[in-house]
Structure 1
Amino acid sequence: MPQMAPLLWLYLYMFFLISLILFLVINYFIKPFEYIDSSVISTPATPQLNWKL
């Protein structure tokens, strides 16, 4: 029925808002991955070969 179309858009809009709020809340409470600090990893100035020639 054509008169039901505004209710459909209202339900879609409410579903979008609820899912967006849920997504933002979940991302707020879940911590991101910790990045490895590159200053901790020390590589030698002259890399040595791991195999014998």
Structure 2
Amino acid sequence: MPQMAPISWLSLFLLFSVIFVLFNVMNYFIYLPSSSASKTSKKISVTSMNWKW
């Protein structure tokens, strides 16, 4: 079974590292959070709990 030269392992590592980084960067910048206008219309109801010990 033939062995691979170290330079080819290095090039494979760099290739997969670049692909991994590009994939993560694309996923990070494609994500669009919901707009803040829809958050302001929702009312958050706070119910106080009276603990009876």
Unaligned runs of 5+ in 2: none
The answer to whether residue 1 in structure 2 is matched with residue 5 in structure 1 is no
What is the aligned-residue identity percentage? Answer: 16
Distance 1:15 1:9 in 2: 10
Coordinate RMSD, CA, aligned:
3.6
The structure carrying a bigger helix percent of its residues is 2
Q: Which runs of 5+ in 1 are unaligned?
A: none
Structure-1-length-normalised TM-score: 0.54
Normalising by structure 2, report the TM-score: 0.54
* Runs of 4+, deviation exceeding 6 Å: none
Report the AA paired with residue 50 of structure 2: N
How many pairs are equivalent? 44
